[in-house]
Amino acid sequence: MLLSVLNYCGMAVFAATGALVGVRKRLDIVGIWTLAVLTGLGGGVARDVLLGITPPSTFRGWENLTVTTAAAAVVFFFHPQFGALRRTVDVLDAFGVALFAATGALLAVDAGTSPFAAALIGVTTGLGGGILRDILVNEVPLLLQGGEMVAIPAFAGAALTVAIDEAGRSQDWALVLGVAVAFGFRVVVMWRSWSAPKAPDDAWGTLRRRWRRR
């Protein structure tokens, strides 16, 4: 039950980020809806493709499209109440990534994948919609932007979800703790402006110089 609820929440949150980006880019109602739906459903489609689920469960029934459309409509009419769009998109994106990373990982475990593969599929689920959104509006995805650490918090949340489930604990607790860790980690990263390590200019040369000084 909680897995389904969080999955719908992830769709709604990601759809909202897509709609907010559409508003910021001054798209019309069709463009905003398209961006919202593709953002909200993109991660789930990527997950299902990796798990060999055909047709993707995202396209079964009316619920998923309804949730993303409703989120797009709320943003379309009430986007001024969201405040500063850029910061709102960042926070909602962090929450959406956390939700989808945890739920995607747990669904992968239930589908019979290995724990490590399940964590990676969770990361793919969490980042897929945001990457698709950014590409559609001609922006560099957060995953590839220098100074942005997105995948590591998502992996931490997905891995924790899988670890708790593998330990035989409640799946509900696995989801709650996985989402909390992924979201909290990402918020701290944004607050502290942390970034992942970059390739050094000349690691071998630096090591040789230090060795010679000895």
DSSP string across 167-213:
TT--HHHHHHHHHHHHHHHHHHHHHHT-------S-HHHHHHHHHHH
Q: Token pair for residue 209? A: 């110089």
Mean pLDDT value across residues 117-125: 95
What pLDDT is stored for residue 127 in this prediction?
93
Q: How far is CA 118 from the centre of its chain?
A: 15
At residue 177, does pLDDT exceed 70?
yes
Rounded distance between C-alpha atoms, residue 94 and residue 101, angstroms = 10
Mean pLDDT value across residues 129-137: 92
Domain ranges in the chain are 2-213
What pLDDT is stored for residue 146 in this prediction?
64
Residue 214's pLDDT band, with cuts at 50, 70 and 90, is low
Mean pLDDT value across residues 185-206: 81
User: Which of these ranges, 11-20, 24-33, 57-66, 109-118, has the smallest mean pLDDT?
Assistant: 57-66
